[in-house]
Amino acid sequence: MQLSSLTNENMIFLNMSLTTKAEVIAKLVEALYDSGKITSKEEFTQAIYDREAISETGIENGFAIPHGKADCVKEAAFAVMTTEGIVSDWESLDPDNEVKHIIMLAIPKSEGGSTHLDLLATLMEKMSDEEYTQKLFASQTVQELYQNLDHEEQKEQKDIVYTKTIVAVTACPAGIAHTYMAAQALEKAGNELGVKVYVEKQGANGIEGKLTTEQLQEADAAIFSVGVAVKNEERFHHLPITKTPVAEPLKDAKSIINRALEKAENFEKGDFDSSTQTPEKISVGEEIKQAVMTGISHMVPFVVAGGMILAFAVLISQQFDLVEMYNTPGTWLNSFRLLSGGLLGTLLVPVMAGYMAYAIGEKPALVSGFAAGFAANLVGGGFLAGMLGGLIAGYSVRFLKKILPAKGAFSGFISFFLYPVISTLWIGLIMFFVIGEPVAWLNNALTNFLRGLQGTNAILLGIVIGIMTSFDLGGPVNKAAYAFCVSVMGEGVLLPYAIFASVKMVSGFAITLTTLIEKESYTTEELEAGRTTWLLALGGITEGAIPFMMKHPLQVMLSLCTGSAVCGGIVAISNIGLNVPGAGIFSMFLLDYSNTSVSPFIGSAVWLGAAIVGAIISTAILVPLMRKDRLKGKA
C-alpha cells in the first residue's frame, strides 16, 4: 500500500522551531487546508481538540498522533512534522515522552471501508515498528522522508513456539490511530512472550480481523483495550477478560498479557456459546427478528419507567383521596400522570420503530423509523403498525443508500438531508394512506363487537377480552380491547378493565416459566430476556413477550391466548371491578367490590390468582410445543 498517496511534500515539515502544541496543530491544519484536504480550518481544528480532550495523543519515543474526524475533510490524508526542540506541553501516555515527531490524521466523518482508511490503518501499524520510525524520522530532507514512507526492509522471520492463546479487541473513539497501534503492540509483545495474540480491530473500517469461532473456543483469556463499547461482547463471556484503556498497550503490552494469563489461572473457563456468533450473511427472517429485538430492547426501559410512574400516581391518588388532583391539569400528580402517559403513549412505539429501522438501515434510518412509530400512534395502529413501519423505514433507507450512495463532495448533504427527508415522506405516505385505514376499521369493528357482548354472559366477555389482550400484545386487537374497557369504565361498567388488567400479567409470567423449564429451546439472549418478563408483567407490561411471539408466532399466540381466556373467565365470574386505569400488580389495591359480595381479601386473591392460573396453563401448552420444535430442529 502506498502511504505516499495520502500526503505530499507540501504537508511534510522538518526541524520546525515550534515549541507548543497549539502552534504545531495550527501549522499542520493550515497545510491540510492549503493542500485541499479540508474545507474549513476552524471546523477541523475543533475536531482535533475534541479528540485531544478524550485522551492523550502523545505516545512514546518522541511520537504524537493528533487526529480528527469531521465533515469538512474532503479525503483522508495526513501531514508530518518534526521539530528542532521538544513540544513541552503535549500530553503523552508516557510521562517521559518528549514530543518531536508529529503525524496529523484527517479523516472524513462519512468515510467507511475505503482504501484511504486501509492506508491510514497501515500507517498506524507501521508507526508501532521501531525500526521503521527510526529510519523515517532520520530523514534529512522532505523528499527523503516522503520516499521513506513506503520503504520497508525485509525482516528475518523467527520460528516461535506458542504456549498460550489470547483473543483481544482494540477500539478507540476515532477508530484509527490507537486502534491499530494497540493491536500491533499486543501482537508484537505476544510474539516476544511466546503467546499467540489474535486481535480484532473495531475501528473506522468496521470490524477487521474478526475473531473466528475456533480462536474464541481455544483462547485462554481475552483482552479488551478499548475506549468505546465492545461490539458483540457476549462472545467472550466464557473467558476471563482483562480491560484496559486503548492506549495502554502502547506503554507496556507485555504486562497486560501477563495480567491476562494470571487471571486465567484462577478462572474456570466456561463453554463457548456458538449462538453468540453473528453469521456473515443472515436470512431476511433472521434480520427482521434481530431488528425487532433491537427495537424491543430500547423500548423496554420506557415501558418500565412509564408503567411504574403511572402505577404509583394511581396508587397515591386512590390511597390518599387525591383523585381530583390526579385529574386536574397543572397539579404535580397530574403532571406525573402526563409524564407516564407520554412515555407509554407517545414515545413507546416511536422508540421501538426507530431502533428497528436503525438495526436495518443504520443511523440514517433513525428519523424515518421514529416517524413511522409516531404515525402508527396517529393512525391508532399500536405496536404491530409500528413494527411494520419500522421495518419499511429501515429497508427504504437501505435501498436509498444503494441507489444514491453518500460519496464525494455531497456525501454530507445526502446523508443528513436526502436520506431522512425522502424516507420520512415515503413512510408517511405508507402509514397514512395504506396502513391507517385498515387499522382504524379493525379497531372500530372490534370495539363494536365487544360492546355487543355487554349484557350477555359475563364469562364469554371475559374470555374474549382475555384472548384479545394477548393476541398481539399491544397491537390493534389489544388496543381495541383496551379502548372498550376504558370507554365502558366511563359509563360505570367496571368489570371489563379488571379483566384486562389481570390478563396483562399472563404473558410475562408464562414466558418466564417457559424459559426456566425448556431452556434448551432458547438462546442465551432469549433466556436472559425471559428472566425479566415476569417483572414487566407485575407492572402490567406485555411487551416483554413480543420477541418470543415474533420468533414462534403460532405456538406463543396459541398458548398465551388460551391461558388468557381462562384468566379472563375467572375474573369475570368474581364480578369485581376496576375504576382506574391501573398498572399490573398495583391494580390489586384499587379493585372495586360494589357489585359483588366477595371480600377484598378474597377478591384480590382471585384477581391475582387468575393471572397465575392463566400463566400456568399457557406454560403447560407452550413447553411441549417448543420441545417438539426443538426435537425437529426448528427451535
Question: What DSSP line would sit under 115-137, residue for residue?
Answer: HHHHHHHHHHHHHT-HHHHHHHH
The verdict on whether 561 is a catalytic residue reads no
Q: Enter the C-alpha cell of residue 267.
A: 478462572
Contacts 24+ apart (CB under 8 A), 264-270: 264/164, 264/220, 264/221, 264/239, 264/240, 267/221, 267/239, 267/240, 269/220, 269/238, 269/239, 269/240, 270/237, 270/238, 270/239
DSSP symbols for 493-524: --HHHHHHHHHTTHHHHHHHHHHHH-GGGS-H
**Residue 368, C-alpha cell as written in the block:** 424515518
* Secondary structure in 3-state letters for 185-200: HHHHHHHHHCEEEEEE
Within 17-94, strands assigned E span 63-64, 67-70, 77-83
Asked if 390 contacts 425 with a C-beta cutoff of 8 angstroms, the reply is no
Give the Cα separation of 388 and 33 in Å (integer): 46
What DSSP string describes 254-292? HHHHHHHHHHHHT-------GGGPPPSS--HHHHHHHHH
Query: C-alpha distances in angstroms, 333 versus 302, 312, 327, 338?
Result: 19, 10, 8, 9
| Catalytic site residue from 72, 101, 172, 238 | 172
Q: What is the gyration radius of the CA atoms in the chain, in angstroms? A: 31
| CA torsion through residues 335, 341, 346, 351, sign | positive
Query: Cβ-count burial of 549 within 10 angstroms (0-12 exposed, 13-18 middle, 19+ buried)?
Result: buried
User: Quick one: residue 7, left, alpha or beta (phi over 0 = left, psi -120 to 50 = alpha)?
Assistant: beta
Closest CA to 482 of 472, 492, 512: 472
CA atoms within 13 A on the CB side of 434: 11
Cell 430442529, residue located: 633
Q: What does the alpha-carbon distance between residue 468 and residue 475 come to, in Å, rounded to a whole number?
A: 10
DSSP string, 446-484: HHHHHHHHTTS-HHHHHHHHHHHHHHSSSSHHHHHHHHH
Q: Please give the angle made by the CA atoms of 219, 178 and 111, to the nearest 5 degrees.
A: 105
Per residue, the 3-state secondary structure of 517-562, as one string, reads HCHHHCCHHHHHHHCCHHHHHHCCCCHHHHHHHHHCHHHHHHHHHH
**How far is the C-alpha of 20 from the C-alpha of 595, rounded, in Å?**
83
Rounded Cα distance between 577 and 498, Å, is 5
- What's the CA gap between 227 and 243, in Å, rounded? 10
Nearest Cα neighbor of 278 from 381, 179, 188, 207 is: 207
Active site members = 67, 172
